[in-house]
Amino acid sequence: MRIVLLLALLWVLPASAAEPSKPVVLKAARLFDAKSGKLLSPGVLVVTAGKISAVGASAAVPAGAEVIELGDATLLPGFIDAHTHLTGQPGEDWRQDVIDRMQRTIPERTMEALPYARATLMAGFTTVRNLGGEDFIDVGLRNGIRRGKAVGPRILAATSGLGSTGGHCDGGNSWRKGLLAQESGQGVADGPDAFRARVREHLKYGADVIKVCATGGVLSRNDDVDSPQLTQAELDAIVDEAHARKRKVAAHAHGAEGARRAIRAGVDSIEHGSFLDDEALELMKRKGTFYVPTAIALRGVKERYEKGLLAPEQIPKFKAAEASARQVLRKATSRGVRIAFGTDAGVFAHGRNAEEFALLVEGGLAPADALRAATSVNAELLGLVNQLGTLEAGKLADIVAVPGDPLQDIRRAERVFFVMKEGVIYRNDRAAPAAVAR
C-alpha cells in the first residue's frame, strides 16, 4: 500500500526544488520576535544551507550572498497549523462526497491531496500536524514532501484517528453492512488493551502523533456532538502507550465530560472544545494542556449551512457548537489556558488557514499572542522548539513575510507574499517568476 502511495507521488510531480546554492539575506522593515511578542526593526535574516545563520541589523552579509529586499513588510517564523486534514476537502454536495469516498481509490485520493498541500504551504504554513488521514495517505504525503517529490508543508502525521465503534473517528459511522468495503474506521477499537494495540499499530506504520476522538463530532452523522465516547480506562491506555513511545496525543473533544477524561489521562492538547466548562478549563490550566480551538472550522461549517450543504443530522449539532464555542474561547483566554493555533483545514478549503488569526483575536488574544500561537507556542506543542517557531540562529530557515505591521492589523497575516522553507523560496510575489523555486 505504501509503495502505491509513493509511486503516485513520484508520478504526479517532477524533481524537487534545488537546494539553495548560496547564502541569502532577507531584509524587511521589521521582524517578529516570537519569544517576546515584539517587533524588531529593521528585519534582517541571513540564511545559509537551509538554516538561519544570523539575525538583526548587525548581521554580517556573507560574500556572494543574494540579498532580497522585501520593503515595508514583516518577517515571521513559518506558520504552524496544529490541526489539519490534508487528505480531503468538502465538495458542493455532501451526498456526492459520500459516494466519492466509497469509489475513489487510494492513489486517486493521494493525488487529490497534492494541491491541498501546496495551497497550505503557499499560505505561509510551513509545518502542519495532520490529525487524521485514512489509508496512511498522510504518511505517504509526508514522506513524498520530505524526499522532495511533492510540494507542501512539513507534516506530522497521525494516520487515522482512534475512536470507539460508531463514534466520530469511525469511518463507517452510520453506514450499514454492505454499503462500505470497510465497515469501520482503521482506528476503531473498544477496550483499553485494544486501544493499546491500535496505538502500536499506528506507530508501526509511521505515525508521528496520536489523535483520539474523546467525544462526538459536528460532522459525523450518528453521534451526539458533546457525548463522551471513550472510558477513562481507554483514554488512560492510549496516552500511556503513546507517551511511553515518546509520541504526543491530541484529543478531539467538544463535550466537557469527554474532555475532562482526556485531560485527566494526560493528553497534550484538546481540539475544538466547543462545550468546555469551568472545571475542564481549570484542569487544563493546572495540567498545562494546550487548547486548539479551531475557530475557523465552525465558520467553514456555517458557510456550508448557509448554502444548504449540511446533512440534516449535522445542522442541530453545528448550531449548538456555534452558540457555545466563542464564549469558551474567551473563557479559556481569560483564565490563561495555553492557546495553540489549529484550523481543522479540510472542513473548509485548504489555504484559508490564516483566517484563524483574526478569530483568535476576536476571542480575546492580543495580536502578538495569536502570532505566537502559530509559531513559538505550536513549536512547543509539536515538540519542535529546537528547530522551529522563532527566528534564531541555528534554526531551520522557515520564514514568511506579510505586508505592513500585523500587530496593528492582524488580518495582514492572511496576506503572505513570501514563503521560504528550509532555505528554499517557494513564493515571492515581489520577484520575477524565475527567482522562485517552485
The secondary element (H helix, E strand) that includes residue 194 is: helix 192-204
**Cα separation, 105 vs 350, whole angstroms:** 21
Q: Please check whether residue 425 is in contact with residue 66, taking contact to mean a CB–CB distance below 8 angstroms.
A: no
Nearest to 169 by CA among 206, 217, 124: 217
Look up the CATH architecture of domain 79-381.
Alpha-Beta Barrel (3.20)
Which pTM does this prediction carry?
Answer: 0.92
Residues contacting residue 10 through CB under 8 Å, at least 6 positions apart: 144, 149
The strand pairing partners of 47, in sequence order, are: 24, 52
Backbone angles phi, psi at 425, to 5 degrees: -85, 120
**Cα separation, 138 vs 113, whole angstroms:** 9
Look up the CATH architecture of domain 17-78+389-435.
Roll (2.30)
Residue showing cell 502559530: 374
Q: Please check whether residue 183 is in contact with residue 156, taking contact to mean a CB–CB distance below 8 angstroms.
A: no
Each of the 438 residues of the chain gets a pLDDT tens digit; together they read: 444 444 344 434 433 344 557 999 999 999 999 999 999 999 999 999 999 999 999 998 899 999 999 999 999 999 999 999 999 887 666 556 666 666 788 888 899 999 999 999 999 999 999 999 889 999 999 999 999 999 999 999 999 999 998 888 887 554 444 444 454 468 999 999 999 999 999 999 999 999 999 999 998 877 889 999 999 999 999 999 999 999 999 999 999 999 999 999 999 999 999 999 999 999 999 999 999 999 999 999 999 999 998 988 899 999 999 999 999 999 999 999 999 999 999 999 999 999 999 999 999 999 999 999 999 999 999 999 999 999 999 999 999 999 999 999 999 999 999 999 999 999 999 886 655 555
> How is the chain split into domains, by residue range?
17-78+389-435, 79-381
Q: Please check whether residue 214 is in contact with residue 230, taking contact to mean a CB–CB distance below 8 angstroms.
A: yes
